[in-house]
Structure 1
Amino acid sequence: MDKVIRLNQLFIYPVKSLKGIELDESVVTEKGLLHDRHWMIVNPKGMFITQRQFPQMALLSTHINNDYLVIANQQSGQSIEVPLVPTKPLPKCEATVWKNKCQVLQECDDVGRWLTEQLKTPWPVRLVRMAEGFTRQVDQSEKFGVGDHFVETQFADGFPFLIANQASLDELNRHLEMPVPMNRFRPNMVIEGLEPFEEHRIKSLVNESIRFDLRYPCERCIVTTVDQKLGTKHPLQEPLKTLIKLNPMPNNNNAAAFAENATVVIKNNHPLKRGEQFYFT
């Protein structure tokens, strides 16, 4: 009998590198889950910033209601609202995420001032969203090996979905003095039913509604060392150092892999739900 894989947890991260939201269900698009990485914070030159440089970004939570994105500081108790649909035209500008220059809309100055104050950055920051009609295409040809391969996504690092395996986290934690939660790895989907790190050896997760194609292991960075409750980095760079030894990237023993980058083929428009079952190929 084929092994059944269960979707155990489902997350979106409306603002790149801020705290995510756990959901019971979500709308799936080819560019990612609805509202996932729809906004990002940029420096005065328009370059994106993340917890790599500012681990205190982990302290800002996000929430979405019918009308607003709400960003809150769990330490100060302060919050600010950003309309999901702009109430007036937003200024257009350019922002950069990795190698991609994107056409974006800048949220109002009050949001930028609030974020600068909460994050205590050395210069003013701004919150931007992707401009309507602009499509970000990420060149992933090096990972696919043959031909030209471009992936469409919002402000995610390189792929629209990140799928993690609960058994892999359990195995990692068996090698750590202080276990870490899944939020260190910021996945969209957490699955159960596979052996540890078996996600790197399968091609797809499939059911009657949708197919997720697992494209390439996710190379992990220093963000995995950030305590998402405290907004501070581990002094010994754990769990990254242990993960490098336990599960290195293909052809690079000095880098760690955890979870799989994925794309999607949508068979119908049913929402993706926690508890949903898949078979793998």
Structure 2
Amino acid sequence: MTMWSSCGWTAEWALADYGITEQMSLPKAVQETSGLACVNDRLFTVNDSGHPAIIYEINARGDVLAGYKSQANNNDWEAMTAFNDFLYVADIGNNSGLVKQYSIYRHDLLDMSLVKPSLYRQVRFEYTDYPTESLAMMSHDYDAESLAFNGNKLVVFSKSWQSNVARVYEINLVQPDQKATPVTTIDDLPGMITGAHYDEASKRYVVVGYNSNGLPSLKPFMALLSDEYKVLELKSLKGFGQVEAVCLDFEGSLWFSQERALFKPALLVKMMR
């Protein structure tokens, strides 16, 4: 199995060219979808805190095809990404403001089994800029819900409830324990980043998120970022709610997932040019 490539579509694309083509309801098992990964013609998702450590494979209609148990803990799985035969699941949520160490679990797709929980490799990290004072729940900048694979690193974008200024952390793939220092900040987005994907063909990131002060009326968005984390394009996702994750498949279709929330169902959404 190999990761999708750009052979089926051109690297030149813009969010403005994309429109929503399908909206699929997600079943109860994945109604708190928090991560999404595209691998060839396969889709994977995970739930966040309070759920079992299971990686779900879903089809293009949103149906659950399989649930692969992991030996890792699901304290707060909030993101996932993929490269080649590996799925990376990020336990990086910190709504409470009490969590100071985070984990990214690498699972080998070829070893994932329906019979027994999958093994994993773990990278643990802490933020070097984590404040010494106490943080208020859902009112601080040291939460995260997005993960992207870019070459020889994993990229985590902070979910900055307080400032809406995202900090970007680059995580070494193989170092078991590390300190993460922000490499830059992004201050011109209309809200917090909750999902991310890196497109190797165009050398750009696509991210999704929503406004930090909008509950229960959220204003979700999608944005295109350069390889240097500069905002290139913004797109409103009007009518949607708690958009949590995004990925780009091997045919160039964009997918995003929406978590079930007040007056909003859990959805899998497809966008095409």
Task: From the two aligned structures, give the one with the greater strand fraction.
Answer: 2
Q: Normalising by structure 2, report the TM-score.
A: 0.27
Q: Which has the higher contact order (CA 8 A, sep 6+)?
A: 1
- Report the structure, 1 or 2, having the larger helix content: 1
